[in-house]
Every structure is written in C-alpha cells, then in structure tokens.
Amino acid sequence: MQTNYLDQLNQPQREAVEYNDGPALVLAGAGSGKTRVLVYKLLHLVNLGYNPSRLMALTFTNKAAREMRSRIAQLIGRDAYKLQMGTFHSIFLRILREHAHLLGYTSDLVIYTTDDTKSKLKKIIKLLNLDDKVYKEGVVHNRISRAKNNLKTAHGYKMDAEQLKLDAKANIPRVYDIYEHYERELKQSNAMDFDDLLLQTNILFRDYPEVLALWRERVDYLLIDEYQDTNFAQYMIARYLMIDKGKIFVVGDDAQSIYSFRGANLENMLRFEQIFKGTRVFKLEQNYRSTQTIVQAAKHVIARNQNQLRKDVFSLGDIGEPIELHEAENGEAEASWVVRTIKNIAFKRKIDYDQFAVLYRTNMQSRLLEQKLLSSGIPFRIWGGRSFFDAKEIKDVLAYFRLMVNERDDEAMYRIINYPKRGIGDTTILKLKQAAMLRKISVMELIREPEAYDLDFNKGTLSKLKNFSLLIDDMREKCREGGDFYKLCEWLINTSGIPTELLLDQTPEGKGRRDNIQEFLSGVDEYARHTLEEGEEPHLAHYLSEISLMTDQDNSADEQEPSVTLMTVHAAKGLEFPHVFIVGLEEQLFPSAMSSEIHELEEERRLFYVAITRAEETCHIGYAKERFRHGKTEFCRPSRFLKELPEDLLKRNAAASDTLRYRENKWGNSRDIADSIPSSFSKQDFMPSSSSPAQRRVFLGRRESDTPEPQHERTGNLRVGGRVAHPRFGEGIIKVLEGQGENIKATVLFDEDGQERKLLLRFANLQALD
C-alpha cells in the first residue's frame, strides 16, 4: 500500500484528502484532478483504519465507477473490491433487494429498461382506450420519471393540483390514471424501473427507521462524485444517511451543471453548506488539462453567471495559441471551414484525426459536418449518438421519397405503409409480403387492385389500403408535375403526415426530431442550389442517389482508425481533446431559443464553459451569418457569449473582426435583431428573409428591374487571380469574371480536384481569401 501518496497532490488537493473533521465540499474546476482526489481520499481513509466495506462511493456512470475502482485497486489491492462502490442505481438496487419484502417485493425483483417501461405504458394507454397519438408513451414516461425523481408516487401525482393543470393544458389529463395502472402492474410483476430505485430507497428509509438505522451504521463514510448532477431523490438519500454523522465528502463543479433537463438540481450543491452544518469547502482551481489561454477564456465566460460558487481557475501550462473565432457566410461554409482547418492542422503537425473533436449544441447540426467530412475522405465517429441520416424520422422521410422514384421499392413500402398510423396492422403487412412474393409483383401493385389478386381482407382493411394507395398516387402525380424542388419536397413531407405525428411529442426528444426534419429540408435546399449553380435541374432520383452514395461510404468500418469525433456538448462532458471546434455560436442556437429565463441562460453559459474546457491545445469557435431554416434564409445574430471572450485571447477572421468590432452592441439584452448589427449594415439587411426557395427560383432567368446591375456591386472584393474558398469545392483561384447583375459568373480553378468550374455568384457563396 502506498505511503507517499500525499506528496503527489498539490496543496488544495492534499488538504481535501486529509480533512476528516466533518462534511467536505470539494469544488473541482475543469481539469483539476477531481478523480485523483476521490481515489486518494479513499486510500487515505483506508490508511486511517476505516474498513473498506464500510466506505460507500457513488458515481453516475458505470465507466466512472470502473475507472475509480481500477485506480484504487492499484493502490490498496484486493481491498478495493470490498468497497461499496458503484452507480447510485446499482448500490441502491442492492439495498432494495435486501429489504424488498418490506415494500411488497421479493429479492429477485426485475429491473425494467427504458424500452420495457415504454412498452408497458403503451399497453396501458391502449387498455384505457386513450388516443395513442395524443398520449405518446415517451411523453407519459417523461412525466412519470420526473415525478418519481421528485419523490411523487401515483397518489402524490394525483393530489398535485398544479401538475394536473399542466397535464390538462397539454391535452393529456389522464396521465395520473396511467401512472396508477403502471405502478400497480410493476408491483404485480415484481418489477421496478430505474426511477423506482431512487424512489423506493427513499420510501424504505422514510417508512422503516430500523432499516435507515442499519444503513447509517453500515456506512462510515459517503463519497459522491459529480455532485452538481444529483437530483432531489439522490440528495435526500445522502441526507438520510449522513445528516447527523457528517461523514460526507462530495466532489463537483457547479460551473459544469448542465443536466437540469434530466432532473439535476444545482441547488443541491449551492446549498450544501446550509444543509450539512460545519461543512468545509475546498477549491481545486489549477487546471492541468488546458493552455493558459483556454482556461482564461473559459474563466471570463463563466464569471458572468450570478448563481455560482466562485473559483479562480488558472493554468501554469503553456500560454498556447489564441482562440480562433470564425464568421462564416452560412452553415455550409462553417462546416467547410471546420474540415479545411482540421486537414491543415493534421498536416502541419503530423497528427492523427482522433486528436480532433467538433462540438455542437443540437444533433441536427451534425448533418453538414458529416457531409463535408465524408466528401473530404476524413473518417469520423458520432459519439453517444447516431448519424443524422440514421435517425428514424429521416429514414421515414427518405422511404416516402424512395416510393416517389420507385414504387416497386417494397422495403420503403413496408417502412411507411402504417406510418403515421393508418390502421394497417402487422398481420395485413405479412399477408401482403407473402402475396407479393408468391405472385412476383410489388406490394404497390397488390394494394392498387387487391380484388384482382383475391386477397382475403375485410372491407375495413381494403378501405385503408385503398386510401394509402390514393395517397401515394397523389404524391407521385405531384412529383410528375415538377416545379420548385424545395417546395415539392416540403409538400411531400407535410402530406405524409410525419410533421403532424411528431408535433404530438412535446418532449425535448420530440422537438429534436422536428428540428431534424427542418435540417433535412435545409439539406434539400442546399442540394437544389448547388445543382442549379452547376447549370442543371434538381431531381428527386438524383438527390436520393447522392444521399445513398454519401451514407453508404464506410467512415467507421475500422474502429481502430483514428477518427474525428462529432458530438453534442452535453455528450462531451468529462472528455478532452487536443483540438476542439465549437460551432453554431448564434443566438437562438447557442444559447438555445428555449432558454429565456435567467437560470436557463446561465445553464447555457455553463454549457459553453464545458465546451471550451474540453480543449487541451487549441480551441476554434465558429458561427454563421445566415442559415436556411423553416423554408427561408434567416439571418443569425452572433451569440451573446462571444462578447464575453476577452479580445486579447482571440484570433478572428476578417469577417468576424468586422462584426465583433462593435462589442458594445446589446447582443444578449435585446430581442431586436437589428440592435446587434454593425453600422456598415442596414437594419433591413439583417431582418429575417421572407423570400422562399420558390421565389428565388422565379429570379433565375430575369431581374425585377431591366437596368443591369454594375458588376462591381455583385463581385465585391472578388477579382481575377484572387484566391477564394467555396463551401463545397474548397479553395481555388478565380480565372474569369463575366456577365452582369444576376448573371455574373466566376470561373474558378479548384485546388483539391484540379477542376475548373463556372459558378453563378449569387449562388456560389465564394469567400475571398486575400
């Protein structure tokens, strides 16, 4: 067993480890060595004579628990396996199994997964004759889960008048009824869900004083990791066990509290000193991960939050490079900048792609990044998620599109014949499959003329099949009519009923799915613009081919291949990378449009802090001047968080310098977009565009005025011989500029493939590089 371990700690770390006179709150800044402090605290307690089997250490993830046990095992050997160490849920499950009979369960109780829970709720909704299009199992599960984490049983839920009002307002007034049935069926099945592990442990300690006394006696010291992420139920268990003994040691960083949507309650940490009397606070402020520049930038951002426990974080490492701040013309140009910069850094430093991470606020932002990385041949992986085009809602939309191009695509047919639900069940679909295989025809042919093939269906089923065939035929007829490509795709999606179906799910996940549909349409618009730019007409078949070719590229076949990591900021917590890109720093995106209250904005700021502090060597931040959303080009306002970054720590591209020069603008304090605009722009320029893709299409061959527009007004600072960057084709040199007004074209020789391309400037989004 090590005896010189204290010499391996800095002064604040050592003081925290050695303190043993009461409750301890360790404020551990990002990269300050909190895991080491927890491990050495356990080692120190064992060295003081504490029995390892009477030490309880709680974490949030199995990974964290395994890492901690592995590290302590290297220090104390086999005694590490005597520790009561694990996640909250795993430790509380052991407690519940031992005392299950008191709560009406047996010790071999089973634990329902989230999928099990949703399946059970779905059956209960059907049993109660409730509309499953309104009572979505995901929405109901979300409400029940939140109730359990706030220690509300089904009875308590029913007695909560405020909650019942909220349910009624959401048009789901019988959630309490579903909760009662669910609670009863769990008991009958000798089962608990994950939330029950917290709720039932609280009930056990509350209702059975002898059990509480037993566990107070069994636990000499309680250690909790990531305390800022605890919810009310977890806090109450810690309180039950240690409110009188005071042998509690918690570690966390209030500046990294970013999971309120999961029930995490920052107040547990902020009020720790008030709850556990005699608490001593230790501050771990030295960052061992990042450069001085990165630490100082993050420190200045988080300093704006009022609701926090103050720390003075610092780094004694290299000063490091300035933080790069890049303004892009649009989302596509931003993604191109990310890919271009990654390639440049990797080449110059001779490093692998696994040294890079790209962080974004929402999953929908991954689409452009995925496309640009794929087209550049850079391997990547989606951390803790899936590719944009693997999302169910995107696959559903593509299935409808595939049927428009090829009605014999039976796989697409099977996917959407009953989505959204239209009463065509599994038995009917199986019969259709068998009949189609037997007769060697497509399912669509069967559905159009079921009588001709002697299908044994009742009148109700025949009617449903007929309605579906009419829907598909109407959609295919619309495709034959042609017209504006974006408008056609938008009409197909709306006509399918998918947006209406998704609108019923008001959970954050439901909003994410709706956002994905809008991002998909943004991709449709980009495809249409690029195709027109190259002098061709966009077609659905060609678009589907491009999607198939892109998604079929194997970017993750070799899991050992060094790859760029793409992830949301929430998923990035606890990780670190030498080079980090943070994209989409715009108002309504980061911070989120859903964050209007002060406490919500402070959590968004903490999220930005987490993003910055993932970087070890370099940090690159991007934002776009405009994005295509909801069928129109929307001008974007730089995030209020950008003005909180010290100017002397930044390196900005020319566009960002122009915009951010006006730092006194009230980016974060005004709802008027024009308030944050540099004086070189008019307010009208920065107002959201009302022009739809259809209107843009009208202007392809003519101008509103017969007067030719001078060439210089369109070319700006572009010149023959000048270097430019294109969001799709990369960098190149302008060889020719010709035409006038709407029809000015640039011939550009691109570096990457050596091809010359003639581009219409109004679509090309060329950015001058010199």
Q: Which residues contact 258 (CB under 8 A, 6 or more apart)?
A: 264, 569, 570, 573, 603, 606, 607, 610
> What SS3 string covers 516-546?
HHHHHHHHHHHHHHHHHHCCCCCCHHHHHHH
Quick one: tokens of 541? 């078949």
- CA 25 to chain centroid: 30
Quick one: tokens of 425? 């069940």
> What SS3 string covers 389-426?
HHCHHHHHHHHHHHHHHCCCCHHHHHHHCCCCCCCCCH
Tell me which residue of 199, 89, 190, 197 sits closest to 153, measured CA to CA.
Answer: 199
Tell me which residue of 135, 110, 130 sits closest to 186, measured CA to CA.
Answer: 110
Tell me which residue of 273, 214, 218, 221 sits closest to 245, measured CA to CA.
Answer: 221
Identity of residue 430: L
Quick one: tokens of 463? 């009617």
Q: Which residues contact 704 (CB under 8 A, 6 or more apart)?
A: none
Find residue 581's DSSP bridge partners.
Answer: 358, 620
Tell me which residue of 247, 516, 258 sits closest to 390, measured CA to CA.
Answer: 516
Q: Which active-site residues does the annotation give?
A: 34-35, 225-226, 256, 614
Length of the chain: 770
Q: Which residues contact 441 (CB under 8 A, 6 or more apart)?
A: none
For residue 389, report the phi and psi dihedrals to the nearest 5 degrees: -80, 0
What span, in angstroms and rounded, lies between the C-alpha atoms of 577 and 562? 13
Q: Is 634 strand, coil or helix?
A: strand
Token pair 């659905």 in the structure block, residue: 540
Tell me which residue of 573, 588, 706 sits closest to 637, measured CA to CA.
Answer: 588
Distances from the Cα of 186 to the Cαs of 113, 132, 181, 207, 458, in angstroms? 12, 21, 9, 20, 38
